[in-house]
Chains A and B, each alone.
Chain A
Amino acid sequence: MKISTFGYQIKQGFKNIHRNRLFSIASIATIAACIFIFGVFYSIVANAQHMIKNAENKVAVTVFFDEGTTDTRIDEIGEQIKVREEVDHVEYTSPEEAWENFKSQYFGEYEYLAEGFKDDNPLANSASYSVYLADTSKQDQLVTFIEGIENVRQVNRSDEVAKNLSTAARLAGYISIAIIIILLAVSIFLITNTIVLGITVRKDEISIMKYVGATDGFVNAPFFVEGIAIGLIGSIIPLIVLFFLYNRIIGFVLTKFSVLNNILTFLPVMTVFRVLIPVSLILGLAIGILGTLFAMRKHENV
């Protein structure tokens, strides 16, 4: 295609959009809604995953020992674990500390209820190491290693937080996928009808074009321009809105829930948008092209 033709087609495409303003705006709005929701859920899921990773970093693998294991042996095991390269650091919890923790956790202000156990620590064999990982992805490897050490009774992965967060993230993912699919269908339907309307309005012009010898490509090009432009505008608008909302919302959450500040570690806006921008643009582009193709199919013989 020649450059002059290219310019002409782009102009015709935007003329179409202008001519069917109402339909075009409706299409753009639907696509924008679709991509906005996608962006919101993507941000949530990406951040949730980020927090899961962080939580995993904060929680440790807990190591318990066989009954009657001597303190010297426990020290030895500690040394063995410490030298592993996936280990960041190791903390020792004595049976007394374990009991204190347990008491405050389970009896709370009724701690006197635990008085009966005073001289007979029920957790006498509950000395443990909390092993913090330098690299959580190597957790499995480390757990297998520790389990292989003699006198090690049990290795607990304390990934409860991570598990809950994963479930929430997955749920958010499913809901967003469902909403996005519905909105995608509506977007494509609307864009198809916008373009069909454009074709109908330009029927006389198209018929003359064909008499004069316009190729199908030449006749159809403005409609692709129209579809693609609507799709791209519909994806750029929510991207801009999301970009400005993102930091505001994070700021809001962090001040409202300052208690959770050490769990709520958010991704920087650019990290999220590095994925969000290309995916949204491609989504908008795909909706535009698909809508145009459906419109062409409906109007094959204009």
Chain B
Amino acid sequence: MIIMENVSKTYAKDIVGISNVSLHVKKGEFVFVVGKSGSGKSTLMKLLLKELEPTSGRIVVDGNVINDATRRTLPFIRRNIGVVFQDFRLLEDRSVYENVAFAQKVIEAPPAQIKNNVLKMLSMVGLLDKYKANPKELSGGEQQRVAIARALVNSPDVLLCDEPTGNLDVVTSEEIIKLLDLANQQGTTVLVVTHNLDVVQQMRQRTITMSEGKIISDMAKGGFSYED
């Protein structure tokens, strides 16, 4: 569950990131965010993670008021939010297995559970046979699958993806989006920023269009008011 109420973010020198955005995403929803480059999509995602402080407005994710989060409480809030980036951000000094297990170790999951959870996630993203491989040996699509496994291994309630298919070809992109859809079917609330309008139309999910820092449309079933 995500709530944004009249949220604005102004960068230095009056550069508007987003302006007066209000948004409600229910638990278990799948939402696409589309819009031109510079329309504020990444800013919105970063605000949800408290990577950025809003200039004004209130943000609640999964019952936690993000505005009030402190250095001490933020890590625990983030354990409920998975993140996937365009550039995968895998650690190349360790195996696929270690990359996913890392997320569990960091939150001090019981060692007995880690192996179980990691193998379950790798099997969900279809990479069980490559658990020993180094990320460098994988295709872009495979790397993004590992990143998704890592984002989901701690069973977050919310999954935020900023252009997860930005570096991938059409076919691979569809596979990745299907994977996100699978995570959504298993109960995770999913927010996906994308430029891939074919996928958006195909998936027929709720879609939000942004322009110049504002939400200009919010439609069900893959509707958007945006041209490439």
Instruction: List 7 A-B residue pairs with CB atoms under 8 Å apart, sorted by A's residue number.
Output: A204-B91, A212-B103, A213-B79, A214-B106, A214-B107, A215-B72, A215-B75
Q: Is the CB of B107 within 8 A of A212?
A: yes
A210 to nearest B CB, angstroms? 7
Query: Is B176 part of the binding interface, using a Cβ–Cβ cutoff of 8 Å?
Result: no
Additional A-B contacts beyond A208-B89, A208-B91 (17; CB < 8 A)? A4-B108, A5-B105, A8-B105, A204-B89, A208-B103, A210-B75, A210-B78, A212-B78, A212-B102, A212-B106, A212-B154, A213-B79, A214-B75, A215-B72, A215-B75, A216-B75, A218-B108
Let me know if A112 is at the binding interface, CB within 8 A. no
B71 interface contact, C-beta 8 A = yes
Q: How many A-B residue pairs have CB under 8 A?
A: 51
Are B78 and A213 touching (Cβ within 8 A)?
Answer: yes
Decide if B111 is an interface residue (CB 8 Å cutoff): yes
Q: Are B78 and A2 in contact (CB under 8 A)?
A: no
Query: Which A residues are in CB contact (< 8 Å) with B78?
Result: 210-213
Interface pair B106/A218, CB less than 8 Å apart: yes
A residues 210-244 near B (Cβ < 8 Å) are 210-216, 218
Q: Looking at the assembled complex, report how far the CB atom of B60 sits from the nearest CB atom of chain A, in whole angstroms.
A: 18
- State whether B108 touches A213 (Cβ < 8 A): no
Q: Which residues of A contact B31 (CB under 8 A)?
A: none
Verify if A85 is at the interface (C-beta below 8 Å from B). no
Judged by a CB distance under 8 angstroms, whether B11 is at the interface is no
Contact with B along A186-221 (1 / 0, CB 8 A): 000000000000000000110111111111101000
Binary flags per residue of B81-96, CB closer than 8 Å to A gives 1, else 0: 0010000010100000
Q: Tell me, in angstroms, the Cα distance from A241 to B83 when the chains sit together.
A: 52
Which residues of chain B come closer than 8 Å to A210, judged between CB atoms?
75, 78
- Closest residue of chain B to A212 (Cβ to Cβ) is B103
The one of A4, A209, A218 in contact with B111, judged by C-beta atoms closer than 8 angstroms, is A4
Q: A289–B49 Cα gap in the complex (Å)?
A: 31
In the assembled complex, the Cα of A204 lies from the Cα of B93 at a distance in Å of 11
Q: For A2, what are the chain B residues with a Cβ–Cβ distance below 8 Å?
A: 108
Q: Which of B49, B83, B108, B150 contacts A5 (CB 8 A)?
A: B108
Do A213 and B75 touch across chains, with their CB atoms under 8 A apart?
yes
Q: Does B76 contact A (CB under 8 A)?
A: yes
In the complex, chain B residues whose CB is within 8 Å of the CB of A204: 89, 91
Interchain CB contact under 8 A, A213 and B154: yes
B106 is contacted by which of A1, A4, A209, A216 (Cβ under 8 Å)?
A: A209
Residues of B with C-beta under 8 A to A211 = 49, 78, 83
Residues of A within 8 A of B89 (CB): 204, 207-208
Distance in Å from the Cβ of B215 to the closest Cβ of chain A? 25
CA distance A5 to B104 in the complex (A): 11
